[in-house]
Structure 1
Amino acid sequence: MTTIYDIARAAGVTATTVSNVLSGKGSVSSATRARVMQYVEELHYSPNLVARSLIKGRTGVLGLVFPSIDNPFFAEMTAAMECLAYQAGFRVFVSTFSSGDQTGQKMLRDLALRRVDGVIIFSAAITLDIIQAMELPNLPIIYCLEEEMQPCPFPAISYDFFEGGRLAGEHLLSLGHRRIGVITDMTDEGQLCHRSRIKGLQTALASYDLTLDTDLMKNGHSNAETGKAVGYELLTHPNRPTAVFATNDMMAMGLMTAAWELNIQIPRDLSIIGFDGIAISRFTTPPLTTIKIDIEALAAEAINLLLHEIKHPNSQNSVVLPATLVQGASTGPLLL
């Protein structure tokens, strides 16, 4: 393996000069710098990252904690954060576990023991109460996607999920729909992530002097299988809804499959709106109307907050990003 001493001999300079060129420190002439970098390239020099981390007291690794990567939302988020971290000179270590998983605390402690420089944790993976109870001193943490932003001891980033639910309801109501069904995730884990969306919908309904018909509210898990299974229950109801709000896109897609199998046309016979704005939602038939969570914006905010927290601990910054409606072709006016 090529060392800085090999570079120094080839360039006719000292090892200290090579080190200064590579670190950007010290006073080195442009000609010397160019000569050193020429041999760095020719000799295929790569820095010893382990040694560098020992010297700097950092590993150059960020931990990302997700509930899963089965959902395309989290897969897309992983890719976005990995790219941004790499651009900032970091690698990422991804762990997946849900808030109900008893191994979650052990895995989070393991991340801390591996001396990652900081961790981004998604609320569906592990609850705020559990994190606080674990007492992870000096570990920079960013908490993501808490639905109802509670007082948080470390920086947090989320979306206005309540407003997203209200926008979904307002959109359907403006199209003339009054009998609106809901497919959501109210499991112990899911209700932490979907409760505000339902409250937003209820607020929209109240503005029209309507209430949510609990008989048309179906619960399950945040996946397409749930959407299809409980979708059948909704769509075979004696007085089925004319529109359905699914609190994530995967459940909306499962509902679309149920509608297709029951020969219910979208949006002529049924309007469907989802939540997340994952990339695949643009390629359903018809394209899904959805409340978009801007994954690129969230990833950038989370990485920037974490890098700031690493340099300036206990900054207590929090960000709430706005929800937006993306009009697809899965919603349309109520046809009497």
Structure 2
Amino acid sequence: MQELAEICGYSRVSVSAALNGKGGISENAREKILRIAKEHNYTPNKMAHALKGLPSYLIGMLIRDLSNPFYTQMIKIIDDHLHKKGYSLIVLNSMADLEREKKALQTLYSYNVDGLFIAPFAKDNAVDNITSIVGNHKKPVIMLDNLSRDIGSMSIGFNNRSGAFEATQYLIDCGHTEISYLAGPESSLSYRERSAGFMNCMQKNELTINSNSIFPCGSSAEDGYTAALSLLKTKNRPSALFCFNDYIAVGVYRAAQELKLNIPQDLSIIGFDNINLTKLLSPALSTVNIHIDNVARDAAKNMLKFLKDENYSPQTKNHIFEPELIKRDSVRNLKK
């Protein structure tokens, strides 16, 4: 920075203020410094800033599965908001592995990040695993899951149970009684909530629960494809499938095509998440909108508030977004 200050003809303090968007200098001076910095391809050493006790302008994000469009959609929005304020987002993938999650958290803190977003992996000791690491650092932490409300500065999530209940009820209202739920990975924090919502709705409507009512599945399109092939080849195959997420539903579409089952005439499908891809499927996928974009914006805005004011305290520590049923073309109404 000293070399840049000499080239610009300003003090290090003025150059630092210009580069970091601080006050105390005129707009003309700021524009000149930024122009010269760009001409000389100047890149500030964020790690050096952090070692001096200054902000690194790095934000960490730990997610479970980078291949899932749910997370890539969320990452894009959060990154856009942070970028406008001069922050860079570092994303690490736990691959739903407890030990990898622990190492990833330690790595992010070693980069001296100013804050963290965490979409946690769920195992018996996962919460303790995160708490033991996060608790040693005085940096804002936003948990991207409403089931982790006791960790970090705040949590932002969605009502999984309500969304699953509403999706199942919609299938029942359309005349479906043979319904199977492709339940996703048991390690997911959302698994038990959505499973509970599905079971509650089935029981409330006095529908029979059998061995195929909740069908084991992973969380990817490949998992959905494999599970659907197995389930739909059974003698008493269901007339409707409720999928743990939209990505699984993509795999179900492929399986139905291979088995020459028409959607929705032969098989009705409803997903969960409302990722951007759902509108591009044919027929368009009915799903549960958990407002990914709103969750991401809320997370980014609150993180920026924490970074701006260390005494910031949100009115509600746990933000829960209510789901919305999106009716498209993948569910057949058997009553018509």
Q: Is the 8 A contact 1:140 1:313 kept in 2?
A: no
Q: How far off its partner does 1:128 sit?
A: 2.4
Match of residue 271, structure 2, among 265, 274, 277: 274
Partner of 1:34: 28
Does residue 1:312 correspond to 2:313, yes or no? no
Does residue 1:136 correspond to 2:133, yes or no? no
Which amino acid counterpart does residue 25 of structure 1 have in structure 2? G
Q: Is the 8 A contact 1:68 1:97 kept in 2?
A: yes
Q: How far off its partner does 1:137 sit?
A: 2.5
Partner of 2:5: 4
Does residue 1:112 correspond to 2:109, yes or no? yes
Which amino acid counterpart does residue 6 of structure 1 have in structure 2? I
For 1:115 and 1:104, locate their aligned partners in 2 and report how far apart those are by CA, in whole Å: 17
Does residue 1:237 correspond to 2:237, yes or no? no
Match of residue 257, structure 1, among 228, 249, 254: 254
Q: Is the 8 A contact 2:142 2:299 kept in 1?
A: yes
Does residue 1:333 correspond to 2:320, yes or no? no
Which amino acid counterpart does residue 155 of structure 2 have in structure 1? A
State TM-score, norm by structure 2: 0.86
Q: Deviations over 1:308-327 (max 9, x none)?
A: 33332684722111111222
Q: Which residues of 2 match residues 162-311 of structure 1 at below 5 A?
A: 162-187=161-186, 189-190=187-188, 192-310=189-307, 311=309
Gaps (5+ residues) in structure 1? none
For 2:222 and 2:249, locate their aligned partners in 1 and report how far apart those are by CA, in whole Å: 10
Which amino acid counterpart does residue 222 of structure 2 have in structure 1? E
Q: How far off its partner does 1:48 sit?
A: 3.0
For 1:116 and 1:16, locate their aligned partners in 2 and report how far apart those are by CA, in whole Å: 23
SS at match of 1:103: helix
Q: Deviations over 1:256-301 (max 9, x none)?
A: 1111111111111111001111111111121111112222211111
State TM-score, norm by structure 1: 0.86
Gaps (5+ residues) in structure 2? none
Q: How far off its partner does 1:55 sit?
A: 5.5
Which amino acid counterpart does residue 163 of structure 2 have in structure 1? G
Instruction: Sort the Cα spacing of 1:152 and 1:37 in 2 relative to 1 into closer, same or farther, 3 A.
Output: closer
Which range is displaced more, 315-324 or 68-77? 315-324
Match of residue 80, structure 1, among 77, 81, 85: 77
SS at match of 2:99: coil
Does residue 1:25 correspond to 2:19, yes or no? no
Which range is displaced more, 236-245 or 16-25? 16-25
Q: Deviations over 1:210-243 (max 9, x none)?
A: 2543333210210112211121222122221111
For 2:237 and 2:161, locate their aligned partners in 1 and report how far apart those are by CA, in whole Å: 25
Which amino acid counterpart does residue 323 of structure 2 have in structure 1? A
Q: Is the 8 A contact 1:112 1:139 kept in 2?
A: no
Match of residue 55, structure 2, among 38, 53, 58: 58
Q: How far off its partner does 1:49 sit?
A: 4.5
Q: Is the 8 A contact 1:268 1:335 kept in 2?
A: no
Q: How far off its partner does 1:132 sit?
A: 1.2
SS at match of 1:272: strand
SS at match of 2:190: helix
Structure number, greater radius of gyration: 1
Partner of 2:321: 321
Over the aligned positions, Cα root-mean-square deviation in angstroms equals 2.8
Aligned length: 325
Which amino acid counterpart does residue 207 of structure 1 have in structure 2? K
Which amino acid counterpart does residue 7 of structure 1 have in structure 2? C
